[in-house]
Amino acid sequence: MKITGFRTLVLGTPWRNLTYLILETDEGIEGVGEARVLGKTHTVIEYLKDVQRHFIGHDPHNIEALYRRMTLLDFGKPGEVVYTGLALVELACWDIIGKAAGEPVYRLLGGQVQDRIPAYANGWYTVERSPEQFAAAAQTVVERGYRGMKFDPFGNGDLELERDEFYRSLDLIEAVASVTGMRAQIMIEMHGRFAPHQAREIARAIEEFNIGWIEEPTRPGDIPALQSVRQHTNLPIATGERLYGAPEFREIWASGAVDIVQPDITQTGGLLEAKKIASTAESYSIMVAPHNVGGIVSTMAALHLCLTLRNAKVLEHFNDFADPHVKKAGKGYPEVVDGYFPVPTAPGWGIELDEDFIRSQPPNYVNGVIADPGLNMFENADWAQRGQEE
C-alpha cells in the first residue's frame, strides 16, 4: 500500500481552527488526521506541501520511518510546526492501518487496558468573571455527570498578578469549589504565567479545596522554577502540553517536580510518540492526562491512546461546552456518558468526515491567508471577554 495524495480542510471556531488532513492510498483507503495549532494554521498547511516527499509514495504502515524522515533527516531541530505536521500525517496513517486491518487503532498499540476513560470538562466558563456566574456554570458541568472540570480563573498577569486580580481569582476558585465539593475535582489552569513565588502563593491559598492539579504554574520547560513550586506545595502538578516530542520531556523525568504529564498528541508528533512519552512517565510513577482541545478526530485519537496506557488518568474534553458544532464535522464522535468516554469498536478511528459541513464553517482570512484567533494569556484570560482557549 502506498500514499498517493492528500488534501486539507480547516474548520473555524471563535477561538481555534481545526485542521484536517486526508491521506489517499492506491488501495482506495483514506485516513484522516486532525490538529489545532494556535497562530500557525496556514504555516502548518504550507509545511505539509513542502514535505510531502516524506509521505507521498510511502507505505502508511511504516510509522517509525515517517518520524525519522520528518525530523532527523530534515536536519533542522523540529519544533511546534514540524511536530504538528508530523502528527497530522501520523494520525491519518493510523486510521489507514486500522481500516486495512479491520481493527480499532488501540488494538494495534498493545490493546485495551482500561474499560472506560474518565473525562474532565473544559470550555464551560464562557461567562462573566464573577463568583456567581462561575458557580452557576460549574453547576451545569456537575449536572452533566462530569467528575472533574478545569478552568483558568486568572486575569491579566505576567509573572505575577496585581493584588486585586489575585484576590478576584481566588474568589472564583472558591465559588466553583462551593459547587463541586467532593463530587468533582477542579483543575486549575495557570497557562505558564507565573514566577515561582506567585505560583507558590496561589498554591498555598487553594490547598483547602478539592484540587485535582495545578497546571503549568511556571513557564513551559523551566524545570528549576517548577521544582521551586513543588517544594512548597502538596498539590499535584501537571505540565507538558507545550513540550514537542519526547526529547523535550527529558528533564521532567528525574526532576521530581511533576505528577501528571500532558502530551498533546497533535503537537508532539502523533500517537506513537505520545505513547513513548507515556511509557517513560510510567517508569517514574507519573500519570498521563493528554492535553486535548481537538475536535472529532483528535479527541478520538486521545481516547484510543488512553485505552492502551496503564498510567492513564483522565482525558480533557471541550466540545460539550465550547463550540459543540465541531461534533458535526463527521459521524462517530465519542460522546461522554456519565463522566466517561466509552470504548470505541470501529476500525481505524471509526470517523467518517462530513467535508461539506467543514467547508461550511471556514476560518477567517486576512489578505488571503488563514487568520488564527488571537490569544495572549498574559494580557487577557477572560473567557467572558474573548470566549477562548484552554
| Helix/strand/coil for 121 | strand
Query: What is the DSSP secondary-structure string of 213-224?
Result: EEE--S-TT-HH
- Measured between alpha carbons, how far is 183 from 3 in angstroms, rounded to an integer? 48
Listed as ranges, residues in the chain with pLDDT below 50 are 377-390
| Helix/strand/coil for 177 | helix
- Measured between alpha carbons, how far is 26 from 2 in angstroms, rounded to an integer? 6
Q: What positions carry a catalytic annotation?
A: 191, 291
Residues pairing with 338 in the sheet: none
Domains and CATH numbers, the chain: 107-349 (3.20.20.120)
- Measured between alpha carbons, how far is 82 from 54 in angstroms, rounded to an integer? 12
Are 146 and 175 within 8 A, CB to CB? no
Helix (DSSP H) and strand (DSSP E) numbers for the chain = 12, 16
Exposed e or buried b per residue across 257-286, where buried means at least 16 C-beta atoms within 10 angstroms of its C-beta:
bbbbbbbbbbbbbbbbbbbbbbbbbeeeeb
pLDDT for 379: 44
Fill in the DSSP letter of residue 348: B
- Measured between alpha carbons, how far is 174 from 154 in angstroms, rounded to an integer? 13
Give the pLDDT confidence of 60-119 residue by residue, as tens digits: 999 999 999 999 888 888 999 999 999 999 999 999 999 999 999 999 999 999 999 999
- Measured between alpha carbons, how far is 48 from 359 in angstroms, rounded to an integer? 20
- Cell numbers 492535553: residue: 291
pLDDT for 41: 94
- Positive or negative, the CA dihedral 216, 217, 220, 222 is negative
The identity of residue 185, as a single letter, is: Q
Are 343 and 336 within 8 A, CB to CB? no
pTM of the model: 0.94
Residue 365 burial (CB count, 10 A): 11
43, exposed or middle or buried, with CB in 10 Å at 0-12, 13-18, 19+? Answer: middle
Taking CA atoms, 106 is separated from 35, 137, 356, in Å, by 19, 34, 29
The identity of residue 87, as a single letter, is: A
- What beta strand segments (E) does 85-147 contain? 117-121
- Measured between alpha carbons, how far is 226 from 289 in angstroms, rounded to an integer? 18
Are 286 and 258 within 8 A, CB to CB? yes
Helices (H), 103-243: 131-143, 163-180, 196-206, 223-230
- Measured between alpha carbons, how far is 188 from 167 in angstroms, rounded to an integer? 15
Taking CA atoms, 200 is separated from 68, 231, 271, 380, in Å, by 40, 9, 34, 22
- Measured between alpha carbons, how far is 283 from 13 in angstroms, rounded to an integer? 39
